[in-house]
Amino acid sequence: MATEYIFSPEDVVDKTFDYIICGGGTAGLTLAARLSEDPNITVAVLEAGEHNIGEPLIDIPGQFGATFGNPKFDWAFPVVPQKYSQNKTYFWQRGKALGGSSTINFNAWTKPPAKDIDAIEELGNPGWGWAEYSKYTRLSETYVVSFVSIHSTPRHLFHPAAKEQADAHPQTPNLAFRGKDGPVQIAVPFSVTSICTDPWNLLAVDTVGSTSMLPLDKQGVVSPELKVYGTANLRVVDVGIVPIQIASHVLATTYVTAEKAADMITGKTRKI
Does 128 have pLDDT greater than 80?
Answer: yes
183: confidence class by pLDDT, cuts 50, 70, 90: confident
Q: Is the pLDDT of residue 132 over 80?
A: yes
In Å, what is the CA distance from 79 to each residue of 2, 70, 87, 138?
Answer: 36, 17, 10, 36
Q: How confident is the model at residue 63 (pLDDT cuts 50, 70, 90)?
A: confident
Q: Is the dihedral of CA 261, 74, 5, 12 positive or negative?
A: positive
- Please give the Cα distance from 158 to 160 (Å, whole number): 6
Measured CA to CA, the distance from residue 197 to residue 111 in angstroms comes to 21
| Strand bridging mode 91-92 / 77-78 | antiparallel
Q: For the segment 5-51, what is each residue's pLDDT rounded down to a tens digit?
A: 889 989 998 999 999 999 999 999 999 999 999 999 999 999 999 99
Q: How far apart are CA 250 and CA 205, in angstroms?
A: 9
pLDDT bucket at 209, cuts 50 / 70 / 90: confident
Residues of 138-154 as b/e, b for ≥16 C-beta within 10 angstroms? bbbbebeeeeeeeeeee
Residue 56 has pLDDT above 60, yes or no: yes
Distance CA 155, CA 157 (A): 6
Residue 53's region, left for phi above 0, alpha for psi from -120 to 50, else beta, is beta
Angle value at C-alpha 29, between 224 and 182, nearest 5 degrees: 85
pLDDT at 176: 61
Domains of the chain and any CATH numbers: 105-272 (3.50.50.60)
**Of residues 136 and 196, which shows the higher confidence score?**
136
**What band does 198 get if pLDDT is binned at 50, 70 and 90?**
very low
**For 98-117, how does the pLDDT look when each residue is reduced to its tens digit (9 = 90+)?**
999 999 887 778 889 999 99
Is the per-residue pLDDT at 66 higher than 70? yes
Q: Is the pLDDT reported for residue 164 higher than 80?
A: no
Please check the confidence at residue 147 and state whether its pLDDT lies above 90: no
Mean pLDDT, the chain, integer: 83
Cα–Cα distance measured from residue 262 to residue 166, given in angstroms and rounded to the nearest whole number: 38
